[in-house]
Chain A
Amino acid sequence: MKFYDYCVFDYADGMPGMAAELGWGGLCLLKDGPAGMGKIDPVKGLLIETEKVQNVKKEAVRNRKRFEIIVASGLNEDVNRAAVETPEIDILVTVEGARIDHVMVKLAAKNNVALGFDFRQLLHSSGVQRSRIFSRMRENAKLVKKFRAPFVITSGSVSEWDMRAPFELTAFGRLLGFEEPAIKEALSGKMIENNRKKLGGKWVQPGVEVE
C-alpha cells in the first residue's frame, strides 16, 4: 500500500530520499517542487492561507482545475468556516489545532472537506503548549469520528528533518482515538486518485464518465 503525506508545506532537496527511506509513496507539495522525485510520486498542491473569508472560495474555485490537492490553513474561525463550506477545498488544517465545532464538522462531512491533523504542530511545541494542542486535536477527532467526516494525518513538514514515517503517524492517529482502518485510509492516496480522475477530463459527475 502506498502512503501519501498530504501537507508538505515547503520543499527541501533531501526530502525525496528521506521520504523513500521512511516508507512514503508520495508527497503533496504545497509550494513549488520538482516534477520528478524518483520513487516518490509528486502531487501538485495549493495552500490557501488567508485572513479574508471571501478569498477562500475565490482562490479555491479559480485554482481547482490546476491543482490535484487544495489545502486551506485557517488563520481564524471565520476562515475555517468558509473552508468547510467550500466543496472545492480538499483539506482544512487548523492552526495550532484550533477548535472546530459540531456545525463545522457536519459541513465538512457534507462537502467532503477532510480535516487535517498536523504532527508538526506537536513536534515543535513543548510542555503546556503541546498538551493544549493535543487536547484540542483530541476534541476535534472526537467530533470527526462522531459525524464520520473525512480526515487526514499529515507530517506538515517544511524540511526533511520534520518528516515522520507513516507508522509513527498511525500511532499518532490511534492516540487521537481513530481506528486502524480509518487511519490507513487517511494516509492512503484515495483522495489523490479521485481528484486525478476528476482532472483527467473524462469525469462528468459521480458515476458518469465519458469513454
Chain B
Amino acid sequence: MKLKSMPSLRNKKRYVTFRVHSERPILYSSMRGAVTNSILNWMGEEGFSSANIRIIKNLWDAKVRTGWLTCPPSALDDVKMSLALIHQIGDDRVIFHVLRVSGTIKSGKKKISLGKR
C-alpha cells in the first residue's frame, strides 16, 4: 500500500529543468553524483534534508543532456547556486544551465518547447 499525505499537508514544490553543457556525453549516475555533492557542499546535510531535493531519473535525456529535479520554492536560489558551482564531472569541464522553473512537469515541458523562461 502506498502511503499518501493529505493534500493540505503536502509541501509545495518546484520543478527545475537544467541542461548540462559538456564536451563529451554525461552519464546519469555521474550527473546525479555531481549534483548531490554540490548541493550537499553548499547547503549542508541539514539543508539538503529539509529541502527534500529529488532528481527525476525518468526525465534525464542523455541526448540533449537535460534533467529535472524537484525542490521547495524556498530552496530555489540555493539549488540554482549549487548547480552553477559545478564546473567539472570527472575530467570533463561542464556548465549547468537552469532552463526553467515550473510548478508542474507538463507546464515545464510546454514552456521549454516554446522557448520561454
Contact = CB atoms under 8 A, between A and B. Distances in A.
Contacts, number: 46
B21 A175 contact: no
Given A18-B21, A123-B85, A167 B95 contact: no
A126 B41 contact: yes
Interface in A149-178: 161-165, 167-169, 171-172, 174-175
Interface in B49-89: 76-78, 80-81, 83-85, 87
Contacts of B78: 175
A21 interface: yes
Contacts of B98: 165, 167-168
A161 B81 contact: no
B95 A22 contact: yes
A162 B77 contact: no
Contacts of B81: 168, 171-172, 175
Interface residues of A, number: 21
Contacts of B80: 167-168, 171
A161 B95 contact: yes
B97 interface: yes
B22 to A, nearest CB: 9
B99 to A, nearest CB: 9
A211 to B, nearest CB: 40
B64 to A, nearest CB: 12
B116 interface: no
A171 B76 contact: yes
Most B CB contacts (10 A, CB to CB) among A21, A119, A163, A164 go to: A164
B109 interface: no
Contacts of A126: 41
Nearest to A173: B77
Interface in A83-100: none
Contact of B87 (A18, A22, A124, A171): A124
A104 interface: no
Interface of B: 21, 41, 76-78, 80-81, 83-85, 87, 93-95, 97-98, 117
17 contacts: A18-B21, A18-B95, A123-B85, A123-B87, A127-B41, A161-B93, A161-B95, A163-B95, A167-B80, A167-B98, A167-B117, A168-B81, A168-B98, A169-B84, A172-B81, A172-B84, A175-B81
Given A21-B97, A165-B97, 14 more contacts: A18-B95, A21-B21, A122-B85, A127-B41, A161-B87, A167-B98, A167-B117, A168-B80, A171-B76, A171-B80, A171-B81, A171-B84, A174-B77, A175-B77
